[in-house]
Amino acid sequence: MTPNHELFRLIYQMAESREKTFDFLPEAGTQYPFIYIGENNALESPNNDLWGEVGQTVHIYAERTQRAILDDITAYLETNIKKISGKWEYHLQYTSTNKQIIPDNTDVQPLLHVVLDVKFTYTKKEKK
């Protein structure tokens, strides 16, 4: 498993326990709010050990009238993402979140779109 995939799985499980969550943009007609676990990236550092940086982008969509619900979902994710420490093959250490709240007019009703770009450092766990 790659560090990208481990972080993706941990965030997906966390998000799914709170709200409708997808690893793709759902079809038109999907009820708001929902969470979309989107892009991820990694930067491996050259060394004898496997370590580096990994990032995941989380998108949260809600109708403009659901701002309070959107804020609750965002706060839940921000709080719990910081607690991630890895589970399977990697030690993960939270480093930062870049948050944007963007008005979105791509649907019939006006939406709010929160983008959370989270960053972690990682090291490979030793085999037992």
Rounded Cα distance between 85 and 75, Å, is 19
Spans of the chain, pLDDT less than 50: none
How confident is the model at residue 88, as a pLDDT?
84
Pairing of β 51-63 and β 90-104:
unpaired
Rounded Cα distance between 16 and 118, Å, is 17
Domain borders along the chain are: 1-122
Rg (CA), the chain: 16
What is the CATH number assigned to the segment(s) 1-122?
3.30.2000.30
How confident is the model at residue 124, as a pLDDT?
83
- For the stretch 97-128, pLDDT in tens is 999 999 998 878 899 999 999 999 998 877 76
How confident is the model at residue 48, as a pLDDT?
57
Contact 15, 21 (CB under 8 A): yes
How confident is the model at residue 49, as a pLDDT?
61
